[in-house]
């Protein structure tokens, strides 16, 4: 397993990061532990979670995923071998995160979040603490293929980024987190966080966790340059486009027990023309003699601006295929075939 450095930090992580958002809903604690055991045996050292997990978010399940990870690290006695990433929610009206009130990226709420995560994870520190999504009003993911009516009306009580940076500086000095990461952010957002951190000598964003896959390559346009020149590492999530690049949803199929069938939350990847484009990529994978899931993950792993590919699985068989993508030799022929489709279809999602 190749190892890569996150941004300007001393965190060195595996090319594959194990995503955890299904643990506590689609997966039991025992299954989550088995996935972590298997991934770490294969060379993974990087786990990504969030106070919000598991998905879909619910008051009765919130925090289970972090508890499962904390129990696993305690049982294995391996905290020093894990690069651990978690996240604090941005602005949300969901009131179960803060004991019955909405949440924002203000000091009281961030401190409440990090203390809860440390307790559930049974650790004294989090290596990479990420802002799950911006507090300001932006389209989901902050980097969509189209924005419609823009700019959005701003909230009158929007928390200044400088204020949020100051809270993260406090947490770094207290030793509760090591580094700041962003997620679902735009080019402007990343640069503004960098500006405010350098202005105040606060923690500089080390990473950006955004969606990146065959049907959503919007990161390449502006954010890739920001990532390269500012040394902010891309931690790519949703490499399989919520399962639509596995082939299991081809021709309108909805297998029993699949995420789309269980939760009906695939709207980002059910946009006009998306099904036709997804099918084309899945058939391209098969033409190279590869399972679509293996092909789609290998594409993400092959990109020079991806530091770590955040994979997800609900079974060991799925996990094995995702891990195997790290050793696929991505050829010029594969890239040219992918680019030919992309040139015609663009980014149909989200």
94 token code pair: 């969901």
- The catalytically annotated residue of 38, 53, 212, 269 is 53
Other beta carbons less than 10 A from residue 274's beta carbon: 21
Q: Measured in whole angstroms, how far is the alpha carbon of residue 324 from the centre of its chain?
A: 19
Helix (H) or strand (E) holding 107: helix 107-121
Give the distance between the most distant pair of CA atoms in the chain.
Answer: 54
For residue 53, indicate whether it is catalytic: yes
Q: Mind giving me the DSSP string for 244-265?
A: TTSSTTGGG---TT-HHHHH--
Round to whole Å and give the CA distance between 329 and 17: 19
Round to whole Å and give the CA distance between 111 and 98: 11
Round to whole Å and give the CA distance between 243 and 62: 23
Relative to beta strand 3-5, strand 12-14 is: antiparallel
Round to whole Å and give the CA distance between 1 and 186: 30
Residue for token digits 């559930």?
120
Facing residues of 46 across strands? Answer: 83
**Burial status of residue 79 (CB atoms within 10 A of its CB: 0-12, 13-18, 19 or more):** middle
Q: Catalytic residue numbers? A: 53
């Amino acid at each position: 397993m190749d190892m890569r450095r996150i941004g300007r930090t001393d965190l060195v992580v595996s090319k594959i990061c194990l995503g955890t958002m299904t643990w506590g809903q689609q997966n039991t604690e025992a299954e989550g532990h088995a996935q972590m055991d298997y991934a770490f045996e294969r060379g993974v050292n990087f786990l990504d979670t969030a106070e919000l997990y598991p998905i879909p978010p619910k008051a009765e399940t919130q925090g289970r995923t972090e508890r499962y990870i904390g129990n696993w690290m305690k049982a294995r006695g391996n905290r020093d071998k894990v690069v651990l990433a978690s996240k604090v929610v941005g602005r949300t009206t969901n009131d179960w995160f803060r004991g019955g009130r909405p949440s924002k990226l203000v000091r009281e709420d961030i401190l409440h979040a990090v203390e809860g995560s440390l307790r559930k994870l049974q650790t004294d520190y989090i290596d990479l603490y990420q802002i799950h999504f911006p507090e300001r009003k932006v389209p989901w993911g902050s980097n969509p293929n189209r924005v419609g009516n823009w700019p959005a009306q701003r909230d009158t009580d929007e928390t200044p980024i400088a204020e949020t940076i100051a809270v993260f500086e406090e947490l770094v000095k207290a030793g509760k987190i090591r580094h700041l990461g962003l997620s679902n952010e735009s080019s402007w957002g990343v640069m503004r966080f960098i500006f405010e951190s350098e202005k105040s000598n606060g923690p500089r964003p080390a990473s950006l966790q955004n969606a990146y896959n065959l049907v959503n390559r919007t990161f390449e346009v502006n954010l890739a340059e920001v990532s390269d020149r500012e040394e902010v590492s891309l931690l790519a999530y949703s490499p399989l486009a919520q399962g639509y690049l596995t082939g299991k949803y081809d021709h309108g199929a909805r297998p029993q027990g699949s995420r789309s069938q269980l939760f009906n939350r695939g709207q980002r990847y059910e946009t006009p023309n998306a099904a036709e484009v997804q099918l084309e990529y899945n058939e391209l994978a098969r033409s190279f003699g590869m399972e679509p899931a293996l092909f789609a993950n290998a594409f993400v792993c092959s990109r020079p601006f991806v530091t770590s590919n955040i994979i997800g699985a609900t079974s060991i068989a799925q996990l094995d295929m995702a891990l195997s993508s790290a050793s696929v030799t991505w050829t010029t022929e594969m890239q040219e075939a992918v680019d030919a489709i992309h040139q015609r279809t663009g980014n149909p999602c989200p």
